[in-house]
């Protein structure tokens, strides 16, 4: 049977498919006989009785016409004024005696006066307390001068604010010592404002930082001026010496730090499609452009073992530090060998297929006649499948490419003829997708 050259081979050699009151006066009790003598109270105010000039005088000690003569109780002496007691007006009852009506007077019948209702004792006590309070208040105002300024201590002088008990430098030192012991909560207590995002200001993150670079030799310059807002400090982060300044501000009765953390820009190193973590805290599946960090050392760890960073560590020395974390991705040191092995295995697998159109997407798309499958024979006609010497480079975040020329050819037969590619297929490069490092996907370019 004659062997024929096949011209249908693909790809062609040139390339391929990417909140209550007062009883009313009317209810006052009827006049009662005088009670047993007792210490006389002070005379009632004159305003409670008609002035003496309005009525004709009566004999001293006698009631007015028509007024009943009161008598003493059995065995009781006739009441009279005690020595030194003021005498009543003519015709006027003794203090404490119920008022009597004025009858038979030529000047007309005056109105009937009854004794006023007694006030409750608790009311007099209350009035006394209020009066005392008012008097005390007036004395205080008189001695203080009455300034409306709440800070004025008197005499129109303004009070000087009292400085916080703990000085500025002790606040800064307390903050740094908390960091040095890995106590994130205590460190935050020295800050005026809590971190807007506390993801990376935790004990876990601090522990990783201290493992890489302990915070030691802390020295803070004492401050004596209560108005000073900047405090100088020096310390070591690992083997790196740091000299920086922290700003403090009075907040109520204490000083607090205003610039304890740094927001670092990580947009240049973090990629959403690449699993990564900072000091053990995963970033996988998140969108992050900046992270808030304490002074310390941070490491970006990639989850893909085939990738590495040229600058995987970032140091925040103090509040005035540069806040941009930049780095370059590259293939891990052992990635080359793994990628080469995957490429070799893939090419050999395709060459061993009994198909005219292979899974590597090269071959004969439309062969003539009925092909005898067992007769298909692919082979490397130029170069080899060994990619160990090829240099793989990143094509994008999780793809590597290596240029290497390899040619393959094929022959087969049908029931009536033998065929062979007229021109070998040229493979120009191998591409490996390693987004899943455990399942590398290899393809070729033609």
Which pLDDT value is given to residue 289?
Answer: 81
pTM, 2 dp = 0.59
Residue at 431 is within a domain = yes
The pairing of beta strand 313-316 with beta strand 240-251: unpaired
The pLDDT of residue 325:
83
Q: Looking at the domain assignment, is residue 300 inside a domain?
A: yes
Does residue 12 form part of some domain? no
Q: Which of 331, 348, 374 is the last residue of a domain?
A: 331
Domain boundary (277, 303, 331) is at 331
Tally of structural domains, the chain: 2
Kindly state whether residues 433 and 359 are assigned to the same domain.
Answer: yes
Answer for the pair 432, 441: CB distance below 8 angstroms, yes or no: yes
What the block records as the tokens of 290 is 């900046």
Tell me which residue range forms the domain holding 251: 162-331
**CA-to-CA distance for 392 and 436, rounded, in angstroms?**
17
| Domain assignment of residue 90, yes or no | no
Give the pLDDT confidence score for residue 221 in this predicted structure: 97
Residues 174 and 299 in one domain: yes
Residue 212 domain flag: yes
Q: Is residue 239 part of a domain?
A: yes
> Rounded CA gap, 362 and 48, in Å?
129
Same domain, 350 and 404: yes
Residue 121's pLDDT is what? 58
Cα–Cα dist 93/58, whole Å: 12
Check whether residue 183 and residue 300 sit in a common domain.
yes
Contact 209, 298 (CB under 8 A): yes
Secondary structure of 166-195 in the HEC alphabet?
CCHHHHHHHHHHHHHCCCHHHHHHCECCCC
Q: Are residues 306 and 359 in the same domain?
A: no
Question: Are 72 and 78 spatial neighbours (Cβ–Cβ below 8 Å)?
Answer: yes
Tell me: do 221 and 350 sit in the same domain.
no
Instruction: Check whether residue 339 and residue 324 sit in a common domain.
Output: no
Structural domain includes residue 244: yes
The pair of structure tokens assigned to 51 is: 């002035």
Indicate whether 182 and 270 sit together in one domain.
yes
Looking at 331, 351, 371, the residue that finishes a domain is: 331
What does the pLDDT read at residue 287?
67
- Comparing C-alpha atoms, which of 193, 315, 174 is closest to residue 242? 315
Same domain? 296 vs 402: no
Do 354 and 296 sit in the same domain of this protein? no
410/419 Cα distance (integer angstroms): 8
Cis peptide before 11 (omega within 30 of 0): yes
> Does 325 lie in the same domain as 200?
yes
Residues with Cβ within 8 Å of 43's Cβ and at least 6 positions away in sequence, in order, are: 86, 88, 95
What is the Cα–Cα distance from 288 to 266, expressed in whole angstroms?
7
Q: Which residues of the chain have pLDDT under 70?
A: 1-162, 284-287
Q: Identify whether 378 is part of a domain.
A: yes
* 174 and 273 within one domain: yes
What pLDDT was estimated at residue 26? 36
């Amino acid at each position: 049977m004659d062997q024929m050259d096949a011209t249908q081979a693909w790809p062609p050699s040139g390339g391929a498919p990417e909140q209550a009151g007062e009883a009313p006066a009317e209810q006052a009790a009827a006049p009662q006989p005088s009670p047993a003598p007792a210490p006389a109270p002070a005379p009632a105010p004159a305003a409670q009785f008609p002035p003496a000039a309005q009525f004709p005088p009566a004999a001293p000690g006698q009631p007015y016409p028509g007024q009943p003569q009161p008598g003493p109780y059995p065995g009781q002496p006739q009441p009279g004024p005690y020595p030194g007691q003021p005498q009543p007006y003519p015709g006027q009852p003794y203090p404490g005696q119920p008022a009597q009506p004025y009858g038979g007077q030529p000047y007309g019948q005056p109105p009937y006066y009854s004794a006023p209702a007694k006030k409750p004792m608790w009311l007099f006590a209350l009035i006394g307390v209020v009066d005392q309070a008012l008097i005390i208040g007036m004395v205080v105002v008189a001695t203080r001068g009455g300034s409306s300024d709440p800070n004025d201590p008197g005499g129109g002088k303004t009070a000087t604010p009292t400085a916080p008990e703990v000085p500025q430098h002790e606040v800064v030192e307390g903050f740094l010592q908390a960091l040095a012991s890995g106590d994130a909560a205590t460190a935050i207590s020295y800050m005026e404002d809590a971190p807007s995002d506390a993801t990376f200001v935790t004990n876990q993150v601090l522990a990783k930082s201290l493992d890489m670079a302990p915070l030691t030799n802390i020295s803070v310059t004492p401050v004596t001026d209560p108005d000073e807002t900047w405090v100088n400090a020096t310390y070591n982060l690992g083997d790196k010496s740091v000299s920086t300044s922290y700003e403090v501000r009075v907040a109520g009765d204490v000083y607090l730090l205003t610039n304890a953390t740094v927001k670092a820009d990580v947009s240049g190193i973090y990629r959403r499609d690449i699993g990564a973590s900072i000091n053990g805290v995963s970033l996988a599946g998140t969108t992050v452009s900046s992270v808030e960090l304490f002074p310390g050392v941070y490491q970006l760890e990639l989850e893909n073992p085939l990738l590495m960073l040229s600058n995987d560590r970032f140091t925040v020395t103090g509040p005035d530090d540069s806040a941009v974390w930049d780095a370059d991705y590259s293939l891990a040191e052992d990635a080359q060998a793994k990628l080469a092995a995957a490429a070799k295995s893939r090419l050999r697998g395709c060459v061993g297929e009994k198909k005219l159109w292979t899974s590597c997407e090269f071959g004969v798309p439309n062969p003539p006649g009925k092909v005898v499958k067992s007769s298909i024979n692919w082979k490397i006609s130029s170069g080899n499948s060994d990619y160990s010497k090829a240099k793989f480079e990143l094509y994008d975040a999780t793809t590597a490419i290596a240029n290497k020329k390899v040619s393959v050819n094929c022959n087969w037969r049908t029931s009536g003829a033998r065929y062979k590619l007229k021109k070998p297929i040229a493979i120009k490069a191998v591409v490996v997708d390693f987004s899943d490092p455990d399942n590398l996907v290899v393809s070729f370019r033609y």
